[in-house]
Amino acid sequence: MSIFIDEETRLVVQGITGREGSFHTNHMLAYGTNVVAGVTPGKGGQTFAGKVPVFHTVAHAVTATAANTSVIYVPAGLAAGAILEAADAGIRLIVCITEGVPVMDMTRTMLYVRERGVRLIGPNCPGLLSPGSSKVGIIPGNICAPGRVGLVSRSGTLTYEVVNHLTKNGLGQSTCVGIGGDPIIGTSFIDVLAAFQADTNTDAIVMLGEIGGTDEQKAAAFAKANLTKPVIGFIAGQTAPKGRRMGHAGAIISGSSGTAEEKIEAFRAAGISVMRRPVDVVELVRARLR
């Protein structure tokens, strides 16, 4: 059906009363996501959108509503604390949308969630969407359609661009996962590839990478060694100069490593079909599904 989220998802929204949080909660509710609770310290006891109870803490929300998944829309300086709080409260999947989280905060936060066996997606990510079932984050629901292509990406709007091509051409998605554009993120390409490989409702995988780091190279090696499903890949940033942060904190070529060429080469070596343009996704997925 999908990975990470499904009909069992009981979502608590951290920062539900904030500008971003309230906006996207309305969209998630409209999409049909089972939003069971919201958290804003100091606003416990309120009700959001006439139906979602708001609590002071995630622990209170979990006790009252059995929430098992959290999505975070709090300001950057509070995001790491929000992740720790969710992990402490027994949440099993935490999706951190917040952009601009200090990387130093994430080094400690990752160790905390790892110790508790919790999955974190993000930060600085668009979240997940399982078409027709559940949306956790900010991916627009209207450009997605149910189907059998799994999509994983380090970016937001580039994901929409690619998903849009898929949907318009009849290639629906099992789940779309944005893992985030930061240097330190909770869930890697490899984690998502493994989940798609195990998901009986996914036939092909689209992986959208970008410059910076070695996550794509490692994912390619993993795919070659462990995947039987076809993978179609893209790397953004071929024209990016060295040493400049291309918007995403993680999209930076340091020294000679993390270039698009290096990543595309790794994709090719692993048998991953490489898109040169976003629109190529349609043709390549079709070719690999034949």
CA distance 22 to 119: 24
CA distance 86 to 12: 9
CA distance 210 to 130: 23
Residue 241: what are its φ and ψ, rounded to 5°? -75, 160
Q: Is position 111 an interface residue for another protein (rule: CB under 8 A)?
A: yes
CA distances from 20 to 16, 97, 134, 225, 271 (A): 8, 10, 19, 40, 40
| Binding flags for another protein, 193-232, as an x/- string (CB under 8 A) | ---------------x-xx-xxx-----------------
Count the helix, strand and coil residues of the chain and give each as a percent rounded to the nearest 5.
35, 20, 40
Give the one residue of 94, 125, 250, 263 binding another protein; rule: CB under 8 A. Answer: 250
Binding span for another protein by CB under 8 A among 80-88, 144-152, 198-206, 282-290: 80-88
Cβ atoms of 159 and 178 closer than 8 Å = yes
Cβ atoms of 127 and 153 closer than 8 Å = no
Using CB under 8 A as the binding criterion, the count of chain residues that bind another protein stands at 75
Of 40-79, binders to another protein (CB under 8 A) are: 41-42, 44, 56-60, 76-77
Give the one residue of 31, 48, 160, 196 binding another protein; rule: CB under 8 A. Answer: 160
Query: Does residue 27 carry a catalytic annotation?
Result: no
Q: Is position 112 an interface residue for another protein (rule: CB under 8 A)?
A: yes
Q: Is 261 exposed, middle or buried (0-12, 13-18, 19+ CB in 10 A)?
A: exposed
Give the one residue of 155, 175, 202, 273 binding another protein; rule: CB under 8 A. Answer: 155
Quote the least distance from Cβ 173 to another protein, whole Å.
Answer: 16
140 token code pair? 């627009």
Q: Is position 143 an interface residue for another protein (rule: CB under 8 A)?
A: yes
Give the one residue of 18, 164, 190, 262 binding another protein; rule: CB under 8 A. Answer: 164
Q: Is position 3 an interface residue for another protein (rule: CB under 8 A)?
A: no
120 token code pair? 């974190």
Q: Is position 128 an interface residue for another protein (rule: CB under 8 A)?
A: no
| Binding flags for another protein, 14-33, as an x/- string (CB under 8 A) | ---------xx---------
